[in-house]
């Protein structure tokens, strides 16, 4: 049972507790066994029974639970650098999408890409994420939009999960856009998802969640309701891209269908906030997408005051959030959303785990939880957020094993 000591401050991030409750322990120690935390507390309280156990030193750095990036579009083909430049020149995301760019251009390139290429590329992104302390990554499909291509994207995630350097949580997002071959037959595409894609994905155990993009130009709330009824019958839990570009009552819809989270929420209404608070739905803030699309952030204080747990994630994707850096998303949540570093830390640990229904086993450093953590060369979460510094992470540990050391 190895012991980590010399931790100047450790944050347990308990699953219950207030929005700023990060469970800081100064001069801490942490022991683990079989990939799980077996003891945590002040070093001076370490039981004598640990005296003969192998000791590792955190060299006086701080320790946080392994970060959870609970919203990414991890694997895709092609490149949209030209769109980035066009948007800088003033063309909007929706204008680019309306002429067949945006999501649909990535769909074309993802369909054309061999599965091995998608895997290799996603692996490189994951390597960058691990070096920034991220041990759990949710990963969505949604650039295939056919039975074979959605299965291909989700198979990439299965292969990456087996490489076992971090936890991958797969989400089916077949309702990301209506593919061109169904442009004149939306209900035909809904039929395909409900009658072919969902049953196949469920029978092969390729996804845990079923997400939908509810927005003008994407899917209507009623289409999403139909989809989620089928998804739930197949054992998949709903998630929602909600109220990103306009108020669609998406937060309320997420609450109504029992979604684990509603994500984006830049245009969420007060009534949706109340509905989410009542249902315990996690709000996932995606500050990098907000920044790139240059829109006002979600009303984070209203959500927190209403009692909604707010998670923070990257939304990594080739269009609206091309930067796979959770620490940058954390820093942006501080400076643009006025979240405190403590709120943000809960947002990328226990609240993010809750958005993946994993908050009883992941995202906190308590006994029985996954032995996933990041060693950060800073004195406190506040000190880390001041200068953002992705290189501040000096070690990442997943299931008790160092998967990155600087
Ligand atoms: O979360 N909102 C829809 N989907 C993505 C964007 C995907 C893309 O631009 O390729 C998002 O922002
Ligand atoms: Fe997204």
- 12-54 pLDDT, tens digit per residue, is 999 999 999 999 999 999 999 999 999 999 999 999 998 889 9
Q: Please determine, for residue 164, whether its predicted confidence score (pLDDT) is greater than 80.
A: no
Task: Please give the distance, rounded to the nearest whole angstrom, from the Cα atom of residue 37 to the centre of ligand 2.
Answer: 32
Please report which residue ranges of 220-348 form alpha helices under DSSP H. 221-233, 250-257, 270-279, 287-292, 300-306, 326-337, 341-347
Q: Is the CB of 142 under 6 A from ligand 1?
A: no
Q: What was the pLDDT predicted at 97? A: 87
Residue whose CB lies within 8 A of the most ligand 1 atoms, among 103, 153, 288, 292, for a mutation test = 103
Q: What was the pLDDT predicted at 217? A: 84
Mean pLDDT of 153-166: 93
* CB 254 within 8 Å of CB 276: yes
Task: Please give the distance, rounded to the nearest whole angstrom, from the Cα atom of residue 406 to the centre of ligand 2.
Answer: 30
Q: Do the bridges between strand 237-242 and strand 209-213 make them parallel or antiparallel, or are there none, so unpaired?
A: parallel
* CB 403 within 8 Å of CB 130: yes
Q: Which token pair is 369?
A: 């939880």
* CB 24 within 8 Å of CB 40: no
- Alpha-carbon dihedral 321, 326, 329, 334, rounded to 10 degrees: 170
Q: Is the CB of 106 under 6 A from ligand 1?
A: yes
Q: Is the CB of 244 under 6 A from ligand 1?
A: yes
Q: Is the CB of 213 under 6 A from ligand 1?
A: yes
Q: Is the CB of 317 under 6 A from ligand 1?
A: yes
Q: Is the CB of 319 under 6 A from ligand 1?
A: yes
Q: What was the pLDDT predicted at 100? A: 83
- Tokens 């289409």: give the residue: 223
Q: Please determine, for residue 65, whether its predicted confidence score (pLDDT) is greater than 90.
A: yes
Q: Which token pair is 158?
A: 């299965």
Q: Which token pair is 358?
A: 């994993």
Q: What was the pLDDT predicted at 390? A: 79
Task: Please give the distance, rounded to the nearest whole angstrom, from the Cα atom of residue 341 to the centre of ligand 1.
Answer: 26
pLDDT, tens digit, for every residue of 294-352?
899 999 999 999 999 999 999 999 999 999 999 999 999 999 999 999 999 999 999 99
- Tell me the DSSP string of 104-133: HHHHHHHHHS-HHHHHHHHHHHHHHHHTTT
Q: Is the CB of 177 under 6 A from ligand 1?
A: no
Indicate yes or no: pTM above 0.95: yes
Nearest one of 332, 321, 325, 262 to 297, comparing CA atoms: 332
CA 385 to chain centre: 19
* CB 237 within 8 Å of CB 260: yes
* H, E, C per residue of 30-76: EEEECCEEEEEEEHHHCCHHHCCCCEEECCCCEEEECEEECCECCCC
Name every residue whose Cβ is closer than 8 Å to that of residue 339 and which is 6 or more positions away in sequence.
285, 300, 310, 312, 333, 347
């Amino acid at each position: 049972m190895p012991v980590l000591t010399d931790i100047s401050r450790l944050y347990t991030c308990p699953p219950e507790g207030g929005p700023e409750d990060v469970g800081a322990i100064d001069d801490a120690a942490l022991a683990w066994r079989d990939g799980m935390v077996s003891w945590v507390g002040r070093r001076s309280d370490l039981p004598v029974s640990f005296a003969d156990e192998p000791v590792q030193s955190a060299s006086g750095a701080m320790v946080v639970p392994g970060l959870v990036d609970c919203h990414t579009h991890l694997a895709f083909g092609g490149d949209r650098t030209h769109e980035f430049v066009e948007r800088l020149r003033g063309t909007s995301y929706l204008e680019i999408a309306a002429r067949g760019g945006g999501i649909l251009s990535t769909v074309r390139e993802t369909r054309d890409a061999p599965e091995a290429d998608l895997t290799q590329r996603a692996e490189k992104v994951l390597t960058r994420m691990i070096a920034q302390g991220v041990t759990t990554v949710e990963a969505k499909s949604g650039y295939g939009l056919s039975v074979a291509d959605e299965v291909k994207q989700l198979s990439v995630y299965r292969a990456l999960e087996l490489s076992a350097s971090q936890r991958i949580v797969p989400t089916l997002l077949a309702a990301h856009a209506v593919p061109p071959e169904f442009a004149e037959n939306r209900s035909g595409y809904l039929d395909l998802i409900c009658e072919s894609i969902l049953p196949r994905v469920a029978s092969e155990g390729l996804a845990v969640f079923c997400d939908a993009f509810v927005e003008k130009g994407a899917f209507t709330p009623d289409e999403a309701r139909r989809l989620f009824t089928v998804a739930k019958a197949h054992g998949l839990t709903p998630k929602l891209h909600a109220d990103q570009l306009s108020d669609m009552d998406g937060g309320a819809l997420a609450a109504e269908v029992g979604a684990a989270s509603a994500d984006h929420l830049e245009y969420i209404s007060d009534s949706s906030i109340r509905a989410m608070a009542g249902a315990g739905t996690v709000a996932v803030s995606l500050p990098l997408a907000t920044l790139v699309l240059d829109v006002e952030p979600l009303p984070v204080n209203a959500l927190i005051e209403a009692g909604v747990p707010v998670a923070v994630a990257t939304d990594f994707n080739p269009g609206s959030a091309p930067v796979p850096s959770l620490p940058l998303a954390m820093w942006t949540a501080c400076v643009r959303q006025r979240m405190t570093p403590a709120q943000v830390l809960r947002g990328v640990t226990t609240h993010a785990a809750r958005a993946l229904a994993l908050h009883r086993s992941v995202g906190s450093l308590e006994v029985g939880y996954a032995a996933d953590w990041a060693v950060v060369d800073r004195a406190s979460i506040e000190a880390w957020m001041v200068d953002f510094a992705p290189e501040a992470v000096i070690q990442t540990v997943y299931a008790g094993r160092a998967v990155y050391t600087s």
